[in-house]
Amino acid sequence: MACWLRGGRVLGSGSSSTSGTSAVVQGKFWAAQRGAVGCGSRWVGHEARALTPSRGGEGELSDLHQALHGDMKGVSATRASTRLEKAQSKERNRKILLEHLAEFVHEHQQWLGGKFPSRGYLSSVGRIDLAEAIRKLGGPAKVAHMFGLKWGVDEGGGGALGKVERDAGSNGVVDSINTLDKANLKLSIAENVEKGHSFMVEHTNSKTPMKESEWTLWKPPISDSSTTETVKRILEEAEMCAKHHPICYVRITAFDKGNFSRKITFLLHVPSAGS
């Protein structure tokens, strides 16, 4: 029996309940299919539009790429700058350490005798801090080579006065001290007097004469009418000091006018083993 769908209702006459029910079910089925297809097409179209960037979207992606690329360049430049700063700082610190060591070696050259100061020597003069500086600069052998000094040549230990007790002994004798011969001594003193340096005479009986705090003033800065007379008086005062203090080291010293933190020193008397 024929039937028609209108507004979701089945129209017809003389239809049985079974036929009417079947027609209703079929009508609902096809209506549901049409709705599903319509929704599906709309969904597919929406997704296609979402996955296909517009012209403006392409520009945004390009801007994002450039921004990220630029940020990476900035990070690389910052890292390179940091590495450069660290290298420059390391080199500055290295130069400072070398300057401190050079000054120490200069001030102690009369005791070092051409040898590089050992750890024991540095400890005895209260400059153990320089041992760490030497380590940072590559070790004593390397630094000694840089300064043109001997290292590791002493029997039983390296460097100058590797052990104060070993070299000084109970009598306070230091064998490695260098003293100028009289002719060269006079010439050197005269040259410094000409430069305006005024020498004083000092003495000490310390077993660690390299310590500045151990020295006692014998005669304040000496000067006379001429360079020759001044040199003569300086040597005479040093000789008198040695006679009065035979168990003492005697030296003449002056502050360098070009650098008042540095002293010009000549050792004139070393106590004998029997003193």
CATH no. for residue 268? 3.30.190.10
- By C-alpha distance, which of 231, 235, 175 is closest to 201? 235
- By C-alpha distance, which of 157, 154, 149 is closest to 119? 157
- SS3 for 62? helix
Whether 161 and 190 map to the same domain: the answer is no
Taking only the tens place, the pLDDT of each residue in 200-241 is 999 999 877 777 888 999 999 998 889 999 999 999 999 999
Boundary residue ending a domain (171, 204, 231): 171
Whether 160 and 188 map to the same domain: the answer is no
Whether 241 and 263 map to the same domain: the answer is yes
| Higher pLDDT among residues 182 and 160, named by residue | 182
| pLDDT bucket at 53, cuts 50 / 70 / 90 | low
Boundary residue ending a domain (116, 147, 171): 171
The count of domains in the chain is 2
Decide: residue 263, CB within 10 A, 0-12 exposed, 13-18 middle, 19+ buried.
middle
Decide: residue 55, CB within 10 A, 0-12 exposed, 13-18 middle, 19+ buried.
exposed
What's this model's pTM, rounded to 2 decimal places? 0.45
Range scoring the smallest mean pLDDT among 24-33, 35-44, 158-167, 212-221: 158-167
Whether 121 and 184 map to the same domain: the answer is no
Range of 208's domain?
Answer: 179-275
Q: What is the per-residue pLDDT for 70?
A: 63
Region 194-201: mean pLDDT is 91
